[in-house]
Chains A and B, each alone.
Chain A
Amino acid sequence: MKYLSEFADPDLARKLLDEIAATVTRHWAIMEVCGGQTHSIIRHGIDQLLPEEVELIHGPGCPVCVTPAESIDRGVQIASKPNVIFCSFGDMLRVPGTSRDLFSVRAAGSDVRVVYSPLDAVTIAEDNPDKDVVFFAVGFETTAPANAMAVHQARERGITNFSALVSHVLVPPAIEAIVTSPDSRVDAFLAAGHVCSVMGTRQYEPIAEKYRVPIVVTGFEPLDVLDGIRRAVAQLEAGQATVENAYERAVQTDGNEMAQRMLDDVFDITDRQWRGIGEIPASGWRLTEKFRDFDAERRFDVLDLEVAESTTCRSGEVLQGLIKPSECPEFGVTCTPRHPLGATMVSGEGACAAYYRYRRSGDVAATGG
């Protein structure tokens, strides 16, 4: 398949790996920010093939996993109300809130639907004028333009029974939160290509400069990720710290300006809770005043809902590579994939879930970092 197999070519991968091995002289910790990158790394076993000196730290960039329990709880509350059709991307249905997930709300008889595009939810609203249709707008800058477009179109088309439960999160503040953490071990970041295809790469320049940390924008195929690692290692070895675009086939410096204008119109920056990490200032989007009538939190009066995240969860430290999952006293005891306390156990991309899963073979010591 054109443009799929080419980016997984084993011979080219070997060349990149050889180049990384020839360049590296000491230990470097590189965080891939996005869950899509983590997915590719796990899928292809890239971390097993890198020289020992290069450590990959899996970042917080899985939108499903960092969506805070309070947002899920709001979704559960709204979806449980009579006369509501609650629409969501499929994988959000499985995320546990404080006590329930959306699947169990659906099992209890509520109308919870999987949509593949936010615009489908607008159509559902148009087709069901006697129902309140709510779309769960989550994700990073990647999913935001389409979600913004759904709200915008609902307003243009006068569809008043549509609203959005918005829990968007932003990548640059998260990178800044990680890099300024006093114990941060991250030497370089692989930034998410899809986020940058929307937002461009300029937002990252002040971060790279201020904190002296290389940031390489990558795609998601194995060669994309490997090339990103190669460039990050080269920068680190040369003492450089710049923003580099290793995903030029999709990312332009200024990003998608039309999408950005739409985002500016529909969303305002707000503080946001991140599951397992806590509140990061100015790290999310909410609807602007212009679109307040489409805000499900106001419409259903669930704004005051406060949720206590687990106080015993140490996933924030795991995410920064400060402790290994098995060093957490809750690991495998009160915290399991069935009853996760934090993001890293919720998602299979998370280090805790990976550790937990591997214990099955009875050789925990061999799991490495």
Chain B
Amino acid sequence: MSFGWTLAPPAPVAGGTAIAAGLRQLRTFAASAGLALAVPLLLAALWIFCARYSWIPDQILPAPAAVWQTLREGCADGSLRDATLISLQRVLAGFGIGAGAGVLVGGLLGASRTLRSYIEPFFLAFNQVPHIAWMPVLMVLFGIGEALKIILIAWAAFMPAALYALQGVRDVPEGFRELGRALMLDRRATFCTIILPSALPSIFTGLREGLAHAWQALVAAELLASFEGLGYLMAYGRQLFQLDVVLAAMAIIALIGVAFHVLLSMAETRLRRWRLEGAQ
């Protein structure tokens, strides 16, 4: 049982009616969206001009219209959709396994000083090796099948998830731990009411970071060892000098990445409402 840190009703002192608050939220959202879109719009304009006045040859930088058409055709004939679904599946499976294990292992390491002194240095050294550098070893061990991709992606997501979870659990303020002892909380209660909520921000940072790494690993794995998926599409497009295909795949990867990021942020905001409302 948790003491309502996720389920508590909103505080009455937040002020204003629900509608006013909603409008205020909408305004801040519109403002931040406007700011966030300014740079991409500028770059898009630059791209359009480049294409129109042929500053860069069409083969190297295809016109936006060409990329758009490739996107539409790819969606219509299902090739792009299939590639996306396959890549998405791999990322979700790899990220789920890697990040899940990472949070668990990191949390355990954060909780135990003894365990930490055995494993942390080794862990940090491992983390210095880019996940793509594991590819050759993994290819020898697991071939170039599906397992390779899932393992590589899982490994890429595991590291940041574990390191941030470790940090979050290790850095729970001593005062709160002491409070838990003074209140005679058992292990479960200490975990639910003190350790987990305190470590949550750090855990989420690790998850976001892990997700970004998972995407990188996916593209790397598919570029080097795959016959399907978005990474493969990019490798294929590059070989045939169809850069519109490459750019279309990149656009999809970026969009999905942003969508994941937003979903994670939303989940975090929901879990940490006390922070937002407390700041008003």
* A is bound by B: no
Q: Give me the interface of A with B, judged by CB distance under 8 Å.
A: none
Q: Give me the interface of B with A, judged by CB distance under 8 Å.
A: none
